[in-house]
Amino acid sequence: MVGEDLCGGFLAAGIPIKKLENPVFREVLESNLGIKLQHEKLFRIKHIPKCYKGIMECIKEDLKEGPAWGTWVDAASFYAKHLSELEPVINSFGNKAARNISELEEAGLTLHNSLAIVSMTQDKIKSIPGSKGNIFKEKLVRVLAKNPGLKTLKEVDLVIQGQLQT
């Protein structure tokens, strides 16, 4: 049990299991835990599969509650399983979302036009009703929170448009 907990802690903290081969680190762990640790390879073989299964069970529970945004595979799995529920939301965008993305990718698009597309897409997402709309709105908030440069770009655009003094 201690080995599995230790393995889970290593994986959660991003510590390579290989670090168990460091004699000083191993001695600190063994003396403080009061156990003799297995060698790295045996530890890896014995505990990582159990940790993997536990993590996968957590992901499966997350998928039951809503979209899993951790990786594109999780998101794709969610959308594949719930396509019939999400289809009306997706259809409400029509081809406009795809066109918006294509427009943003075009070379030479002005900052002002790019920001207008972002703003229009935000408004469209905010207008989606119901619990499915809330999922998209919450995702929008998380994505925008991770992109603080958007505020700066908006201010630069206002300066360029002559609506804000520097």
- What pLDDT, on a 0 to 100 scale, did the predictor assign at position 69? 45
Residue that wins the pLDDT comparison between 109 and 150 = 150
- What pLDDT, on a 0 to 100 scale, did the predictor assign at position 100? 56
Domain layout of the chain by residue ranges: 1-65, 68-166
- The amino acid occupying position 104 is L
Mean pLDDT estimate for the chain: 75
Which of 41, 28, 53, 38 has the alpha carbon at shortest distance from 3? 38
pTM score, whole prediction: 0.38
- What pLDDT, on a 0 to 100 scale, did the predictor assign at position 104? 56
Tens-place pLDDT, residues 24-49: 988 998 899 888 888 888 877 888 88
| pLDDT confidence band for 2 (50 / 70 / 90) | confident
Share of the chain above pLDDT 70, in %: 65
- What pLDDT, on a 0 to 100 scale, did the predictor assign at position 85? 65
Share of the chain above pLDDT 90, in %: 4
Which of 54, 79, 56, 57 has the alpha carbon at shortest distance from 66? 79
H or E element in which residue 112 lies:
helix 111-126
Token readout for 35 is 């156990």
Q: Please calculate the CA angle 129-131-136 and round it to the nearest 5 degrees.
A: 75
